[in-house]
Structure 1
Amino acid sequence: MASPNISFDTLPSSIRKPGKYFEFNTKLAVRTLAANAQKLLLIGQRLTSGSLAAGVLTNVFSDVEAATYFGRGSILHLMAQAAITAYPYAQVSAIALDDAAGNAATGTITIAGTATAAGALTLWVGNDRVDIPISSGDTAAVVAAALNAQLAKQPDLPVSAGVAGAVVTLTAKNKGTLGNSIKLSTVLQLAAGITSTVAAMSGGTTDPDIQSALTAVYTAGHTIICSSLTDSANLTKLRTHLDAVGGSIEQRGAVGVYALTSTLAAATTLASAINSGRITGCLAPSTQSLPWEVAAAYAAVIASEEDPARPLNTLALTGIAVIPFANRLSRTEQENALYNGVTPLEVGPGDIVQIVRAISTYTLDPQGIPDISLLDITTIRTLDYVRKSIRERIALRFPREKLSEKTPPKVRSQILDVLYKLEELEIVEAVEANKDGVICERDSQDPNRLNAKIPTDVVNGLHVFAGRIDLLL
């Protein structure tokens, strides 16, 4: 207080006893940027066999833990399994939903005939394989009973099974429309005389409401929220949540993730209904993997990249089943997806499902005019990180600062220092060119408030290279 350029927090100016007094000032210790660890939250349905009740937020470190917490074969268990497979080092937490009072989807496998030669039957439930041997002379009922018995030995499947005569009925373990997305198919190897007919999963109705889970995690600070639910009503609630926690008051920026395995038309329709710069939805048409597994894998891959500005192009979704040839998006369809808020997935070398370009669902501004400002999901993630870095620096340097004429230049200096460091990491650019636009000034109405304007030129991804080759003869 008695020095014009040095302030003390613990040494009063009224000391009269002789001595040499020192205090420690840690406000200048941190000169680096804020950490950008990614916290992934999975939201999905549980089974009553799980040890954790709905609405309880918990960290998940393994597939086994997820099975215990949420029930083997539950939507949330399989989401955790897919996320950990795609990126084993992800910081994963989960919160469960109870099934709504709806119906569970069902499908059937009908066996007919009598085997005249030995062979085998393979049933695919999503991307999970169920194999049984068939002996010559086995009747349809014997084969169906064997298939039912094998299904019971694989508790991680998303369905339970029952048999009546030669018909095996599969029932989704969770109620709701998501069960209708479980793909079934059979393959017979030899086993002449036996046939199998598949009736697709259907009849699942009434999905739970995501709002209770979002309310429970409002202050938890997750940076990526993956939803198994893909209906527009629940995704609209996710959008509202993300806008609230990532807004200028709460300042806990996060992005939402979902996935579809249906059609491009369905994906573009859903994306247009969401139209959010904080939500990204990917499309893997007709993959055997379940949509919530694709969503969790996609979210985990996003979490694997802590550099917010670095594109996610070509990153693999390890564990996700290959998209069938007949359903892979053509070059034109991929462009259509990217112009309509859908992140297309494709099959790369080695039959690996990978990201083409990770974009948000935001395509139109509030006036309905096409707007590319938040096209890439990296843009909002970069802005969130710039805000976090500047906010933490100001909090560290000025925890108990007085507001005088000396204050604005000091704050501006710290903001510029952060921007220059961000530029070194190629997260923002053109800081020198824009530094005159960095303004710190006292508020005209509130004497205790300092306002700042911070022009931020985010680094864009290199998505397109165009070259012209001139022929010379």
Structure 2
Amino acid sequence: MASANIAFDTIPASIRKPGKYFEFNTRLAVRTLPGNPQRVLAVGQRLPGANQPPLQAVAVFSDEEAARLFGHGSMLHLMARAAIQANPYIQLTLLGVDDAAAGVAATATVTLTGPATAAGALALYIAGVRVDIAIASQATATELATALAAAVNGIPDLPVTATAAAAVVTIKARHKGQAGNDIKLATLVQAGGVTAVVSAMAGGLNDPDLAPALAMVAGNQYEVLVCPFPTQTALTAVRTHLDFVSGALEQRPGVAAAGWPGSLATGTTLAASINSGRIGIAWHRGSQKQPYQIAAGFAAVIASEEDPARPLNTLAINSLDVTASEQRPLRTEQENALYNGLTPIEIGPGDRPQIVRAVTTYTVDPQGVSDISLLDLTTIRTLDYVRKACRERIALRFPRDKLSQRTPPKVRSELLDVLFKLEELEFVEEVDANKAGLIVERDLQSPNQLNAKIPADVVNGLHVFAGRIDLLL
């Protein structure tokens, strides 16, 4: 059957038996925009012998579940804890990798002296977690070292283990790799006659390669990816992955989050080496948390906002620590960070660590010219959603249509409707002014291809307000 304006999918034109035939057409049923769920994938190290095999993604709903699957104190366990604390309703998937075969675990020492001249206490801070032991009067350094090592090993969620030999406690990262060097240690002694000298974690070498893990999930959809290692090697692998899955052919949108607790200079150097409009690095200078915990918290907050155009300014990352006042970046340092691809974290009212402004590491175009087109993380997220909305509308309305002279105007009408609906939600603007630029035309080479040029004036975030106050006497 055929007519000028009606096409049938299941009723053939060759029917001769009399009757009244009806089919159901659901292509016009959906008139709204698609949802925008934000699924998070965290890739990280698992402990040897963990219950969850490597390179097999699994959804988790609590940090205890992550501990059972990947091991207490494992990188993925602590990443899950940070993410869920920052966003309890997160849709979180974890993907474990084994330590590199050539990896070396970071170590540090705590050297004690005694005996104690009075009763007191000693605290060892490990990645912001306090480990306490009581000190009895006349306790020797060897006794204190034994007690401290036992206390450390008595907390299975710590990212380290401890051994004691004479008056020295050796702290060793659970995982092999360079990431262990980022574990912060500090001591507090509250007893006469006792001292504790702690060295920094060092010697960790060779983080595992993330590329095989990312290849395993290249066919899946995750809107936010957590990169555990703030290194050029790891972030380059993530950039390559995102460029592939989010490109014009695969069309699976995604952004990535990383964490940086170090200096502004080294952080901006790292950001410049990546220069990606899909990767953001949260800068939390002086944090006792490890970079992968900062990254997980940042990713969780990104995922909490389903409106892709809405800025993340002032949103708290509840899983982060309150840094010392001398570590908090000055306004000029924050400006420098924002100009160089770092997302500053500041301590807001109520001692809440919060996002200043979420930016990407993209600062220059391929020619090296300064480019603000993908400055804000919201820009690429909005563009991804515009593409999703347009793509789904065309797929729903034209699943098996012919390509004739009638087709381009129909497609253009549907795309224009999508743009107007996007404008209603303040994802894009000036649709009416730009609609002349919406072009749908047949391809000059392929007789089966229809091409479209879709203007998308993305709504910007209100980041700066400037006012002048005139004094009148």
The answer as to whether partners of 1:259 and 1:283 remain within 8 angstroms in 2 is yes
Residue in 1 that maps onto 2:110:
109
More moved, 243-252 vs 137-146? 137-146
Q: Distance in 1 between matches of 2:464 and 2:2?
A: 60
- How far off is 1:226 after superposition? 0.6
Are 2:365 and 1:365 equivalent residues in the alignment? Answer: yes
For 2:15 and 2:53, the matched residues in 1 are separated by 59
* Letter matched to residue 328 of structure 2: R
SS of residue matched to 2:31: coil
Q: In the TM superposition, what is the alpha-carbon distance from 1:426 to its structure 2 partner?
A: 0.5
Contact 1:245 1:252 in 2 (8 A): yes
Q: Distance in 1 between matches of 2:230 and 2:194?
A: 39
Residue range with higher mean Cα deviation, 93-102 or 425-434: 93-102
1:264 maps to what in 2? Answer: 264
Amino acid at match of 2:128: N
Q: Does 1:294 align with 2:282?
A: no
Q: Which residue of 2 aligns with 1:160?
A: 161
Distance in 2 separating the partners of 1:85 and 1:393: 36
Pair 1:415 & 2:410 matched: no
Kept in 1: contact 2:111–2:196 (CA 8 A):
yes
Q: TM-score, normalised to structure 2's length?
A: 0.98
Partner secondary structure for residue 281 of structure 1: strand
Contact 1:102 1:206 in 2 (8 A): yes
Higher alpha-carbon deviation: 64-73 or 266-275: 64-73
Match of residue 250 from structure 1: 250
One-letter code aligned to 1:314: T
The answer to whether the 8 Å contact 2:230/2:291 transfers is no
Distance 1:235 1:126 in 2: 23
Assess if the C-alpha contact under 8 Å between 2:62 and 2:84 holds in 1: yes
Conservation of the 8 A alpha-carbon contact between 1:85 and 1:318: yes
User: How far is the alpha carbon of 1:326 from its aligned partner?
Assistant: 1.2
In structure 2, C-alpha distance between the alignment counterparts of 1:65 and 1:231, rounded to whole Å: 28
C-alpha separation between the residues in 1 aligned to 2:5 and 2:25? 14
Structure 1 length as normaliser, TM-score? 0.98
**Offset at residue 49 of structure 1 (A):** 3.3
Using the alignment, how far apart are the partners of 1:131 and 1:352 within structure 2? 26
Q: Distance in 2 between matches of 1:43 and 1:360?
A: 20
Alignment of 1:73-222 (within 5 A): 73-100=73-100, 101-189=102-190, 191-222=191-222
Q: Could you say what the CA RMSD is over the residues aligned between the two structures, in angstroms?
A: 0.9
Q: Distance in 2 between matches of 1:102 and 1:438?
A: 54
Q: Is the 8 A contact 1:60 1:66 kept in 2?
A: yes
Q: Does 1:354 align with 2:366?
A: no
Instruction: Look up the match of 1:319.
Output: 319
Distance across 1 between alignment mates of 2:132 and 2:29: 62
Q: C-alpha offsets along residues 65-120 of structure 1, whole Å, 9 cap, x if unaligned?
A: 11111111111111111101110111000111111112100011111111222211
Deviation, 1:356, is: 0.5
CA–CA separation in structure 2 for the residues paired with 1:375 and 1:85: 28
CA contact (8 A) 1:50 1:67 kept: no
Q: Where do 5+ consecutive residues of structure 1 fail to align? A: none
- Matched to 1:307, the amino acid is D
CA contact (8 A) 2:229 2:291 kept: no
1:137 to partner: Cα distance: 2.0
SS of the residue 2:214 aligns to: helix
Counterpart in the other structure of 2:231: 231
Structure 2 letter corresponding to 1:442: R
| 1:169-205 Cα distance to aligned partner (Å, 9 max, x none) | 110000111111100011123x211111111111111
Write the distance in 2 (CA, Å) between the matches of 1:2 and 1:197: 87
Alignment match, 1:467: 467
Name segments (4+ residues, structure 1) moved above 6 Å: none
Deviations along 1:113-142, whole A, 9 cap, x unmatched? 112222111111012111111122211111
CA distance in 1, matches of 2:281, 2:358: 9
Given that 2:40 and 2:224 are in contact with CA atoms closer than 8 Å, whether structure 1 keeps it comes out as yes
SS at match of 1:445: coil
Asked if 1:2 corresponds to 2:2, the answer is: yes
171-180 vs 232-241, which moves further: 232-241
Q: Distance in 2 between matches of 1:295 and 1:472?
A: 50
Q: Structure 2, unaligned stretches of length 5 or more?
A: none
Q: Distance in 2 between matches of 1:164 and 1:141?
A: 8
CA contact (8 A) 1:379 1:458 kept: yes
Q: Deviations over 1:223-247 (max 9, x none)?
A: 1111111211221111111111111
User: SS at the partner of 2:295?
Assistant: helix
Structure 2 residue matching 1:201: 3-state secondary structure = coil
Mapped contact 2:83–2:319 kept (Cα < 8 A): no
Q: Which residue of 2 aligns with 1:273?
A: 273
| Residue-pair matches, total | 472
SS at match of 2:175: coil
Equivalent residue of 1:50, what SS?
coil
CA drift of 1:2 comes to 2.4
Match of 1:45 in 2: 45
**Which residue is equivalent to 2:374?**
374
Partner of 2:446: 446
Equivalent residue letter for 1:26: T
Counterpart residue identity of residue 298, structure 1: F
Give, in whole Å, the separation in 1 of the partners of 2:433 and 2:97: 50
Give the distance between the partners of 2:85 and 2:358, measured in 1 at CA. Answer: 20
Confirm or deny: 8 A CA contact 1:74 1:173 kept in the other structure.
yes
**Bigger mean CA deviation after superposition, 296-305 or 61-70:** 61-70
For residues 351 and 345 of structure 1, the distance between their equivalents in structure 2, rounded to whole angstroms, comes to 12
- Paired residues of 1:275 and 1:363 also in contact (CA < 8 A): yes
For the residue of structure 2 that corresponds to 1:436, the secondary structure is: helix
- Structure 1: which amino acid aligns with 2:186? S
Cα separation, 1, equivalents of 2:92 and 2:316: 19
CA distance in 1, matches of 2:126, 2:205: 20
CA contact (8 A) 1:105 1:179 kept: yes
**Which residue of structure 2 aligns with residue 240 of structure 1?**
240
1:412 aligns to what SS in structure 2? Answer: helix
Deviation at 1:310, TM superposition (A): 0.3
**2:389 counterpart residue number:** 389
3-state SS of paired residue (1:429): coil
- The 5 Å alignment of 1:25-64 reads 25-64=25-64
Cα distance, 1:155 vs structure 2: 0.4
Maintained 8 Å contact 2:224/2:299: yes
CA contact (8 A) 1:127 1:290 kept: no
The offset of 1:339, in angstroms, is 0.5
Post-superposition offset of 1:436: 1.2
CA contact (8 A) 1:74 1:174 kept: yes
Greater shift in the superposed pair: 216-225 or 133-142: 133-142
